[in-house]
Amino acid sequence: MALIRRLRNLFRRDHLRDEIDDELQAHIAMRTDDNIACGMRPDEARRDALVRFGNRTSTREQVTAADAVLSLEGMVREVRYALRQLWKSPGFTITAAATIALGIGANTAIFSSMDAVVLRPLAVPALDRVVVVTEQDQRGPRQATLANYEDWKRQSAAFEEMAVRTEAGMSLTGAGDAANVQAALTSASFFPVLRVQALLGRVYDESECQPGRDAVVVLSYGFWRRQFAGDPNAVGRKVVLAERTYTVIGVLPRTVQYPSDADVFLPLAPTPQQLADRVGRNYIAMARLRDGVTVKQAQAEMRIVGERLATMYPAVNQGMSVRVEPLLDDINGDLTPLYYKLVMGATLFVLLVVCANVANLQFARGISRRPEIAMRAALGASRMRLMRQLLTENLLLGLIGGVGGIAVGAVYLHFTLLAMPPRVARYLAGWSNISLNGRALGFSLALAVVAGVVSGFMPALDALRVNLTEQLKAGSRSTTGSGHARRLRSIFAAAQIAFAVALVIGAALMAKGMTAMLHLPDTFAPEKALTFVVELPEARYGTPREQAVWYASSVERLRALPGVTHVAVTTSLPYSDDTWMTDFEIENRTYVPGKLQNAQRIAVSEDYFAAMKIPIVEGRSFTASDTADSVPVALVSRGFVQRYFAGASPLGHRIRLRRPEVRTPWLTVVGIAQETNYSLWDESHPAVVYMSTAQLPLSFATYVVRTEGAPMALAVSARRALAALDPSLPVDGEMSMAQRLNENLVGLEYVAVMLGIDALIALLLAAIGIFGVMAALVSERTREVGVRLAMGARRRDILAMILRRASWLTGAGLATGLVMAFALAKLTANLLRGVRPDDPVVFVSITAAIAAIALGASWIPARHAARIDPMRALRSE
């Protein structure tokens, strides 16, 4: 009811204001009438009426405040007044708004990229209802077999729709340079599961997922832009993939890039034999949950289905359980969300530092504004009213900062996007979605409001503690803050130092760990090697013999180039994190199914160990006499010997890789290679089995061309040499080995750089913060210092007195900061190898550095205090 009355007033506010005036006028007129009736002179009568009535302006304000609309109008007036106040002190306004803009800008940029990459990597409806179904054994999650997928589909009720996909590398010819493309082979249900529609053309349907009818291709948005230059008439064009002609039927939207590295989508058209295959684990099953079914319920159902299949087909399904997890988790993995949380958290801390800083500016400004506030209070403004006014000012300040922050954020984001190598961005599903969208703007706005209120609340409260009489008596001369404010300012300054310490130490640990990891591959002299990737198309290099011939002749060609010292081929480079674990058995030992006996399988060419400077510690390396027709041989790592031969010599023993699909020959171990790490992250050094590309090649390989000079100078001649052998074979990703290995660290580099930026901002603000507090302290104590000097204190004592105070602040900040830093360091240590959460060098040096910076910033006001002229100081009061 009251609300309706208030709303009604909206439409007649002028009328209402007039009414209030009339009413008050009538009151005064009636009192005047009565006074005259009692015998007063008219002017006397009116004066008496006015005195009895009290402050008319204030009364009118209070009456209007009782009406909603009029108080709304009051708000407009308040905003105007606040703008005027801010305009009147441009120095303060610019500093505070710029500080807030910096804080909000960093947050906006990081939130935008986190939102796109981690929170909403695919812009599909109800992404949280899409799950990935995998199998799991003791080694961890495994891909599914097609026959199992078919059974799951038939036996489950939790899903509205199920889809399956697999991946294949293919070479594309007939559209520009020969190129390797990443193909996703999917069932037609893949698109309805994601609920994605084609941007152009259409997606394929069930009838096209039949062998023979499947020569259609849907392009990913990125691929369409890259390879077809965004041609709107691309639909209908023919492309040759793996030497088969396909018709382009559609293009997917930019915001749905899944799998993140897929260039083209092809119908998965399995033959009946493939459908019955229970061995080849090459498939990823996805599903959309039926309405009302939770992930947990789906998981429970699938566990039962999985158990049933395990009893039915023990040979292939024993020990396997079925796992249902949200697609979002599958896309994100473990590390990316953790990185983002770390950086986002740190950046929010920076915003806190910003707020503390602005609050301190406000405290300082509050002192000079006392006369104004006292005057308004004396004129009848209520505390509530003043508080609202001050908070309005702060909100405005926050919003101005917020607008600036969005601009800063846009620039920050621009550089973030520029710095990401496209080869790495391809593996981040949501990277192409990053933009300053409505959500990011909403986030910034919310932060602006929070920043305004948080930074303004305490100072506003303090400003209202003004003692009216004292203030008006003292006039505008007094510049002493209240003891309460001084204490708060000191706390804020100490808190800023604390945050800065924590952030700088966190960033330094990160940077230190990063550098250590960047230099891990130095033993391989990675900057003196050209690397590139070749994938052999199945049509022309279908047999191991054909592949072996290619590797041998290509290596020979490359070695003939001038300036080349070694040429090697390998399926995995050290620290590349792309090895495959394979189970194996040892001759004359019983193979226990399910017992973990596996190793990384790497196929390398003859010269690999020499080219990579990996010593052979026992036996021999591969030689030219190891050919497809000689006895198959293998080298193993030292770790392999320790783990599986208990240190005894394995030379002469035979091992065999157990690959479910193919029967591999027994390999005679002929040598032991020095331990080499193929993972940057995993320090457990899994065992390695090296095979020869001359005997058991794989269809893909990375070339390592060791050069005397700059590696990239050789790129063109290397490409030409290979083209002379096979002009239609795509050669990809030519870069130095150092570059290639660094790409593995791009994510971390981002984290380190962003943390570094956060730390720098925090440090700068903390220095400004303590400077401000000390400067205010000195100016408040000018008179006291004057007295001390006049009483015979030496300037050195004054300097010491002020610095002692600064040391207290700094010390408190450092102590708190160190505690926070330990917590942060523990988090960082989880992300990086080689980071000790208690790294004494980092902790001590940074603590010392920040103490020096803080005391340095305090030195200026302290020296100023020591130079105070006692005569002038005393006269000025």
Partner 1 sequence: MAKNDLQGTLDLLVLKTLAQNGALHGYGIVLHIQNASGELLRVEEGSLYPALHRMEQSGWVVSEWAMTETNRRAKYYRLTAQGRRHLQQAEESFDQLVKGVRAVLRYA
385 forms part of the interface with partner 1 (CB under 8 A): no
Kindly report the backbone phi and psi dihedral angles of residue 553, in degrees, each rounded to the nearest multiple of 5, phi listed first.
Answer: -75, -35
Q: How far is the CB of 108 from partner 1 (least distance, A)?
A: 41
Q: Could you say whether residue 378 binds partner 1 (CB under 8 A)?
A: no
Which residue reads 């171990």 in tokens? Answer: 669
Q: Which is nearer to partner 1, 253 or 380 (CB)?
A: 380
The nearer residue to partner 1, 54 or 593, going by C-beta atoms, is 54
The only residue of 18, 21, 22, 44 in contact with partner 1, by rule CB under 8 A: 22
CA distances to 290, 477, 485 from 370, rounded to whole Å, are 65, 10, 13
d(CA 569, CA 722): 14
Nearer to partner 1, 16 or 146 (CB): 16
C-alpha 560/C-alpha 613 separation (Å) is: 20
- Nearer to partner 1 by Cβ, of 380 and 733: the residue is 380
Residues whose CB is less than 8 angstroms from the CB of residue 261 and which lie 6 or more positions away in sequence, other chains included: 182, 426, 427
User: Three-class SS of residue 768?
Assistant: helix
The one among 7, 8, 18, 29 contacting partner 1 by CB under 8 A = 29
The residue among 615, 617, 631, 638 whose CA lies nearest residue 691 is 631
Between residues 27 and 439, which has the closer beta carbon with respect to partner 1? 27
The torsion region of residue 83 among left (phi > 0), alpha (psi -120 to 50) and beta comes to: alpha
Binding residue (CB under 8 A) for partner 1 from 56, 226, 528, 643: 56
Choose between 63 and 424: whose C-beta lies nearer to partner 1.
63
Min separation Cβ 25 and partner 1, Å: 10
Nearer Cβ to partner 1, position 2 or 662?
A: 2
Q: Which of 54, 91, 647, 792 binds partner 1 (CB under 8 A)?
A: 54
- 13 touches partner 1 (CB under 8 A): no
Of the candidates 13, 17, 20, 321, which one interacts with partner 1 according to CB under 8 A? 20
Q: Is 19 in the site for partner 1 (CB under 8 A)?
A: yes
The stretch near partner 1 (CB under 8 A) out of 56-64, 244-252, 678-686, 751-759 is 56-64
> Based on CB atoms, which residue is closest to partner 1, 33 or 556?
33
Nearest to 445 by CA among 110, 118, 108, 113: 108
Going by C-alpha positions, the residue among 326, 307, 329 that lies closest to residue 148 is 307
Which one of residues 8, 12, 18, 33 is an interface residue with partner 1 (CB under 8 A)? 33
Query: Is 271 within 8 Å of 203 (Cβ atoms)?
Result: no
Q: Contact region for partner 1 (CB under 8 A) — 59-67, 107-115, 309-317, 678-686? A: 59-67
Q: Please state the closest distance from residue 63 (CB atom) to partner 1, in A.
A: 5
Out of 10, 18, 21, 26, the only residue in the binding site for partner 1 (CB under 8 A) is 26
How far is it, in rounded angstroms, from Cα 621 to Cα 672? 8
The verdict on 791 binding partner 1 (CB under 8 A) reads: no
Q: Give the residue with the Cβ less far from partner 1, 383 or 595.
A: 383
Q: Which stretch binds partner 1 (CB under 8 A): 2-10, 328-336, 391-399, 411-419?
A: 2-10
Quick check: 465 binds partner 1 (CB under 8 A)?
A: no
- Kind of pairing, strands 667-673 and 633-637? parallel
User: Which pair of structure tokens corresponds to residue 464?
Assistant: 């209202």
Q: Applying CB under 8 A, does 18 fall inside the site for partner 1? A: no
The single-letter code of the amino acid at 200 is L
CA distance 726 to 536: 11
User: Is the bond leading into 259 cis (omega within 30 degrees of zero)?
Assistant: yes
Query: Which is nearer to partner 1, 54 or 90 (by Cβ)?
Result: 54
> Site for partner 1 (CB under 8 A): how many residues?
27
Q: Is 6 in the site for partner 1 (CB under 8 A)?
A: yes
The helix (run of H) or strand (run of E) holding residue 617 is: strand 616-619
Q: How far is the CB of 36 from partner 1 (least distance, A)?
A: 11
CB within 8 Å of 700: residues ≥ 6 apart: 169, 533, 534, 535, 536, 571
Among 7, 10, 30, 560, binds partner 1 (CB under 8 A): 30
Minimum CB distance to partner 1, residue 370 (Å): 27
- Per DSSP, which regions of 457-579 are E strands? 529-535, 564-570
d(CA 184, CA 275): 18
Decide if residue 62 touches partner 1 (CB under 8 A): yes
| Pair of tokens at residue 633 | 């041989």
d(CA 265, CA 754): 35
Cα–Cα dist 322/308, whole Å: 11
Q: Which of 119, 98, 773, 111 is nearest to 451 (CA)?
A: 98
Identity of the amino acid at 778? V
Of residues 2, 38, 624, 791, which one binds partner 1 by CB under 8 A? 2
55 binds partner 1 (CB under 8 A): yes
Binding region for partner 1 (CB under 8 A) out of 53-61, 71-79, 217-225, 673-681? 53-61
Pick the closer one to partner 1 by CB: 56 or 202: 56
**Amino acid at residue number 698:** L
Indicate the SS3 state at residue 655. Answer: strand
**Is 21 an interacting residue with respect to partner 1 (CB under 8 A)?**
no
Q: Which is nearer to partner 1, 10 or 852 (CB)?
A: 10
Site string for partner 1, 492-531 (x = CB under 8 A): ----------------------------------------
Specify the length of the chain in residues: 877
Q: What binding mask, one character per residue, do residues 80-119 give for partner 1 by CB under 8 A, x or -?
A: ----------------------------------------
**Do the Cβ atoms of 651 and 669 come closer than 8 Å?**
yes
**CB nearer partner 1, residue 35 or residue 156:** 35
Q: Residue 818, CB half-sphere, CA atoms under 13 Å: how many?
A: 17
Taking Cα atoms as reference points, which of 814, 109, 781 lies closest to residue 413? 109
Q: How far is the CB of 52 from partner 1 (least distance, A)?
A: 5
Our CB check for partner 1 shows the closer of 24 and 800 to be: 24
Q: Which of 18, 23, 205, 587 binds partner 1 (CB under 8 A)?
A: 23
Query: 615-648: string of b/e by CB count within 10 Å (b at 16+)?
Result: ebebbebbeeebebeeebbbbbbbbbbebbbeee
Contact call for residue 63 and partner 1 (CB under 8 A) = yes
Is the Cα torsion angle 268, 273, 278, 282 positive or negative in sign? Answer: negative
Query: Minimum CB separation from partner 1 for residue 22, in Å?
Result: 7
Work out whether 290 is an interface residue with partner 1 (CB under 8 A): no
CB of 378 to partner 1, least distance (A): 17
383 is an interface residue for partner 1 by CB under 8 A: no
Residues that bind partner 1 (CB under 8 A): 1-2, 5-6, 19-20, 22-24, 26-27, 29-31, 33, 52-56, 58-59, 62-63, 65-67
